[in-house]
Amino acid sequence: MRILFCGDIVGRAGRDAITTHLPGLRRTLAADVVIANGENAAGGFGITAKISEEILAAGVDVITGGNHSWDQREAFALAEREPRLLRPQNFPAGTPGRGAAIYEAGQGRRILVLNVMGRLFMDPLDDPFACVEGELANHRLGASVQAIVLDLHAEATSEKMAMGHVVDGRVSLCVGTHTHVPTADTMILPGGTAYQSDAGMCGDYDSVIGMDKKVPIARFTRKLPTDRMSAATGEGTLCAIFVETDDASGLARRVEPVRIGGRLSPAMPG
Report the run of H or E that residue 241 belongs to, with start and end. Answer: strand 238-245
Which residues, other chains included, contact 212 with Cβ-Cβ below 8 Å and sequence gap of 6+? 229, 230, 231, 232, 233
CA dihedral 158, 39, 127, 96 (to 10 degrees): 180
Provide the annotated active-site residues.
Answer: 68
User: d(Cα 160, Cα 196) in Å, to the nearest integer?
Assistant: 9
Instruction: Please give the full DSSP string across 16-72, using - where no structure is assigned.
Output: HHHHHHHHHHHHHHT-SEEEEE-TTTTTTS---HHHHHHHHHTT-SEEE--TTTTSS
